[in-house]
Structure 1
């Protein structure tokens, strides 16, 4: 295995065709998502340097990619992180491999580079939103610990996927409903019968770039209205966040990986869903609801259409992403634990940084509990960084 460090946007873009040949677990690990993130958050930030690790086999074929960058922090020093992290809230971070057979060699090459560059290229590693059952990342952690580095896992929010074709059943709407509670089934059937079937509720899904441009301002507007009603700012009002998602949504749409839809009630925009999709799953990323439409269950109705549309296209998983909001359980979702991996050299500075991190998290959590916010969060929300 041969590892090379990709340090420029142009060089990373040149890998796109090979990148697509890797096993990409979700659209959040695709070039459309991660390149857009770097363009919005990293390319013009003097504190950030692209530092993505590309692994090739003896024939020169790209068999692995660790999409990393380095952020210079005043106290912690240079921190090795994963593209798409932070306030943009990318879920299911991992090392990308071409095949399962390539994975051990790719992870070993990445681990060797991380160990060899400790204290030089980086002083701290912070890989967030790692699924607890991610084999590649768990293997990486073991190799880093064996290489003499201090590794530490901190619980993250985790995601909430729902299998809509449970127990090997046919992927039909009725079979999915059978997995939900009796009360939930009754409500969903009632909404379908009284609102969608009568035409009181209609849904427009973006099919073209013109559609996307028309619906995007509605997403921003309804998201802001909903967040302000809850006492929080709209995340799309942050310029880099908005730029990232405008770039990513345009590119994802071109690849058939975007679900952007507006639900209208009596001809008025009531809710918007912004989701990502691949061959097997739909990922409910963000949305917005008009305050007047809350009492008419517009959010649940819009979510129902998202699930119906996914099943009709052969997608059998509804991933409600990170955040522990109770409503997710009503859709049959189960918690998929995740964590943030911290790695430091085993030296005095590393020990001090570990202590400072623990003190910061303790203070942050006390403040959150005092404010009544707890540790909840959803994809795309401005959650504190541990």
Structure 2
């Protein structure tokens, strides 16, 4: 039997903090959830990125006094006509790239027609032309919700997600990197995991240094040099660690950290987020590949379902060579008017034709 629910909209950080306990209780019991719609991720992002936020639009659905569904959106100061999923569409030099953008929801018994109706009426009230999500998986609940509700929506495949399936894909990757593991051992290197706050402070600083060295040597800006991005991740990493959801592995030689893999536990998956390693270190044991293999092994030990390389470009050959499966990642845009929907559909068709011609 479907639940009868009412939907309330959270517009600021104060209102969000007032429902913290209900949100965390929902996370504990939710059938469908991810790290990127958790209270910690959303509230921390809202605190650190507040100067880019015109207004929060966090749709919360309630069954009596129990929170059963959350969709965290915001309106950016740079685009007052579009609402976006939290942690996306910021300036590119500080973009957090929230993955798996979708509802946080207690179970499939929750009727999404009511929150979808409120979302559409809120678009009219706020003068929005659209709602955009930049990173949506094929099995996302929001896709089925807009299709069932006949909501004018465009879907465009924009990236691809590469996955190591557990256990078979992990076993294959571990075998593939066995020679590298042996070379690292002979060189006195060891793979460690961040387990304490002291570990985290030391290894996070090493991640920043190694990431900066790698990218600036290639002529690119280092994303951790941006204060808001760096301090958001320093803060959220502490919270992830306290909840057992940080999977930060590092390669150490003596007391020197020479490579770091920053992963996030999200439901039954570990998602690779950032890395840094010393490319000049000898012998070259392919530290990036070595730590990917170690993350997959950890995921297997924890009986998870995947190690996720995060969404990537369509022609990402490196991650493809390590993965055992992949899926498309969609940009989804919900439109207020059918006319803008039709125009957007033509743009999507043209973009897809261009992509096929290129590839």
What are the superposed Cα offsets for residues 105-162 of structure 1, whole Å, 9 maximum, x if unpaired? 1x2122101222333312221112011121x211232255x35xx3211222132121
Aligned partner of 1:17 among 21, 29, 35: 21
TM-score for both structures, normalised by structure 2: 0.84
Residue range with higher mean Cα deviation, 204-213 or 259-268: 259-268
Where does residue 89 of structure 1 map in the other structure?
97
Aligned partner of 2:106 among 82, 98, 112: 98
Where does residue 124 of structure 2 map in the other structure?
119
Q: Structure 1 residues 233, 26: closer, same or farther in 2, change over 3 A?
A: same
Does the CA contact (< 8 Å) of 1:73 and 1:79 recur in 2? Answer: no
What are the superposed Cα offsets for residues 37-61 of structure 1, whole Å, 9 maximum, x if unpaired? 11111x233x52011011012x321
Where does residue 336 of structure 1 map in the other structure?
327
Aligned partner of 1:70 among 46, 70, 75: 75
Q: 1:273 and 2:261 equivalent?
A: yes
Where does residue 162 of structure 2 map in the other structure?
160
Does the CA contact (< 8 Å) of 2:158 and 2:329 recur in 1? Answer: yes
Cα deviation for residue 11 of structure 1 reads 2.0
Aligned partner of 1:6 among 10, 14, 17: 10
Cα deviation for residue 347 of structure 1 reads 6.3
Does the CA contact (< 8 Å) of 2:59 and 2:72 recur in 1? Answer: yes
Does the CA contact (< 8 Å) of 1:229 and 1:291 recur in 2? Answer: no
Cα deviation for residue 361 of structure 1 reads 7.1
Counterpart secondary structure, 2:327: coil
Where does residue 206 of structure 1 map in the other structure?
194
Aligned partner of 1:252 among 220, 235, 240: 240
What are the superposed Cα offsets for residues 340-362 of structure 1, whole Å, 9 maximum, x if unpaired? 111223266x3798499779979
Where does residue 216 of structure 1 map in the other structure?
204
Query: Matched residues in 1 for 2:341 and 2:271: separation?
Result: 38
Counterpart secondary structure, 1:314: coil
Query: Matched residues in 2 for 1:241 and 1:194: separation?
Result: 35
Stretches of structure 1 that go unaligned for 5 or more consecutive residues are 167-174, 375-386
Does the CA contact (< 8 Å) of 1:279 and 1:314 recur in 2? Answer: no
Where does residue 272 of structure 2 map in the other structure?
284
Where does residue 190 of structure 1 map in the other structure?
179
Matches within 5 A, 1:308-319: 308-319=297-308
Stretches of structure 2 that go unaligned for 5 or more consecutive residues are 90-94
Where does residue 51 of structure 2 map in the other structure?
44
Q: 1:137 and 2:142 equivalent?
A: yes
Q: 1:80 and 2:83 equivalent?
A: yes
Q: Structure 1 residues 88, 357: closer, same or farther in 2, change over 3 A?
A: farther
**How many residues are paired up?**
339
Does the CA contact (< 8 Å) of 1:281 and 1:310 recur in 2? Answer: yes
Does the CA contact (< 8 Å) of 2:11 and 2:55 recur in 1? Answer: yes
Q: 1:261 and 2:246 equivalent?
A: no
Does the CA contact (< 8 Å) of 2:263 and 2:270 recur in 1? Answer: yes
Query: Matched residues in 2 for 1:353 and 1:337: separation?
Result: 23
Q: Cα RMSD over matched residues? A: 2.9
Q: Structure 1 residues 310, 343: closer, same or farther in 2, change over 3 A?
A: closer
Query: Matched residues in 2 for 1:176 and 1:339: separation?
Result: 26
Q: Structure 1 residues 353, 244: closer, same or farther in 2, change over 3 A?
A: farther
Where does residue 382 of structure 1 map in the other structure?
none
Where does residue 230 of structure 2 map in the other structure?
242
Q: Structure 1 residues 249, 361: closer, same or farther in 2, change over 3 A?
A: farther
Does the CA contact (< 8 Å) of 1:66 and 1:110 recur in 2? Answer: no
